[in-house]
Amino acid sequence: MAVKVISPGLSTSVQDLGRPGHYHVGIPEGGGMDRFATRIANLLVGNEPGAALLEATFMGPELEFTQDVTVAITGGELPPKLNGEERPTWESFPVKAGDRLSFGFLKGGARAYIAISGGIDVPVVLGSRSTYILGALGGYQGRTLKAGDELPIGEASGKSGLSLPVNLRRAQTVPSELRMLPGLYWHRITEASGKRFFDETWKVAPEADRIGYRFKGGTPLEFVEREQPFGAGSDPSNIVDACYPYGSVQVPSGTEPIVLHRDAVSGGGYMMVGVVISADMDLIAQLQPHTPARFVPVRLEEALAARADGNAALARAEEYLAG
């Protein structure tokens, strides 16, 4: 009862909805970077929304099944092929024992979610099956997949033929607008520099992974002059090491902003200019390197309204799938 990994893709790992509660010892929440896609993929195959599935980055794996299951692919547009024949995304389809699932080239977004009925039955560690790669924790042996791995699958009947219509999916726009609540150490940069930060268009840098996304192409920040506080370090971007929120935007040396994501490093000594709002975290998960992006300042009330909109969109999709 397993799925054999014929080829692993670029960076494919087991994820679910994460393990909150351990950030104070440096273990991040983790889980599927695109939460909407994670939940919907599971629901399409009849799983609980938080079942363990595969997150494939930029390039799909090739998998061979040893049992009959139902499969659904959501997230970025990574076209699935079953025994070489194209299959739709955002729709569940049956797979027979001996079938091979592979993928064409990525057409949009950055990460695809591959749900299998029954879920991937790796051991639960600290309440979750998700892989924390940096800490070699959870998932399949604490790492991304390799050729030859055999993933255990839970018992389930599954249901095929369910699909989520386009109007119920999240739209991805270019350039991406990442809404952000300015704050934390915002006061460390000059007013002109702060204005420029939002006015300029940045580009996703190649260093973009589960820990965080780096952006480049903008003007370096100008700091308000001060004598550095004791223990902070000498660079004007240094602070006495503090916690890093998920979505926080740190700017080491004031040059390239880094937005921390689901596998965030939990703290460190770089000033942050604010935090990307929770409603836009999924959006980041689907950004490819070199994609233009802008940071857009919002107030807390707007962040909460956007979160409510996101929750409502998810509820509509879930209601549709529940029939």
> Which is nearer to other proteins, 277 or 321 (by Cβ)?
277
For position 43 contacting other proteins by CB under 8 A, the verdict is no
Residue 165, judged by CB atoms within 10 A of its CB (0-12, 13-18, 19+), counts as exposed
**Residue closer to other proteins, measured from CB, 237 or 291:** 237
**229 is a contact residue toward other proteins (CB under 8 A):** yes
CB atoms within 10 A of CB 162: 20
Q: Which member of 274, 294, 317, 321 binds other proteins (CB under 8 A)?
A: 274
- Our finding on whether 307 is near other proteins (CB under 8 A) is yes
Cβ pair 41, 89 in contact under 8 A: no
Instruction: List the beta bridge partners of residue 258.
Output: 214, 250
Six-digit token string for 204: 């996703």
Instruction: Give me the residue label for tokens 């033929």.
Output: 161
Q: Of 217, 269, 289, 297, which lies in the binding site for other proteins, with binding defined by CB under 8 A? A: 269
Here's the x/- map for other proteins, 120-159, by CB under 8 A: it reads as -----x------x-xxxxx---x-----------------
Identified binder of other proteins from the candidate list 71, 178, 232, 293, rule CB under 8 A: 232
User: Is 248 an interacting residue with respect to other proteins (CB under 8 A)?
Assistant: yes
Report the phi/psi class of residue 305: left, alpha or beta, with left for phi > 0 and alpha for psi in -120 to 50.
alpha
Q: Tell me which of 1, 7, 20, 313 binds other proteins, using CB under 8 A.
A: 20
Nearer to other proteins, 38 or 70 (CB): 38
* Structure-token pair, residue 112: 């695809």
Q: Least separation, in Å, of the C-beta of 59 and other proteins?
A: 24
The yes or no reply on residue 267 touching other proteins (CB under 8 A) is yes
Closest distance to other proteins from the beta carbon of 277 (Å) = 5
Q: Is 181 a residue that touches other proteins (CB under 8 A)?
A: yes
Q: Which stretch binds other proteins (CB under 8 A): 30-38, 83-91, 273-281, 289-297?
A: 273-281
Q: Which residues bind other proteins (CB under 8 A)?
A: 20-21, 23-27, 125, 132, 134-138, 142, 180-181, 183-184, 229-234, 238-243, 245-248, 265-269, 272, 274-279, 300, 303-304, 307, 311
